[in-house]
Amino acid sequence: MSYLDTLLDTRNSIEASSDIESNHKLIVINLIEKERSITAAKEDPFYYFFTDVTSRQKVFNFKSELNELYDAAQEHADCCIGIYISFSQLEANTTLHNWLSSAIRMVDCIALHYLQEVLNEESVKQGDAGPERSRYIQINRRGVKAERAGRIMENLYAERNKMEHKVKNDPNNPRKKIIQLPKYKRVMKNIKKRFPEALASFDDAYKEHYG
How many residues in total does the chain contain? 211
Distances (CA, A) of 60 to 55, 161, 207, 210: 13, 30, 6, 9
**How confident is the model over 135-186, as pLDDT tens digits?**
999 999 998 999 999 999 999 999 999 888 777 888 888 888 888 888 999 9
**The model's pTM:** 0.81
**Confidence check: pLDDT of 18 > 70:** no
Is pLDDT above 80 for 8?
Answer: no
CA distances in angstroms from 23 to 11, 15, 32, 159, listed in the order given: 14, 12, 14, 43
Mean pLDDT (the chain, rounded): 88
Q: Indicate the angle between helix axes 95-113 and 184-210, nearest 10 degrees.
A: 20
| Maximum Cα interatomic distance, the chain, rounded to a whole number of Å | 68
At 97-145, the pLDDT tens digits run: 999 999 999 999 999 999 999 999 998 899 998 989 999 999 999 989 9
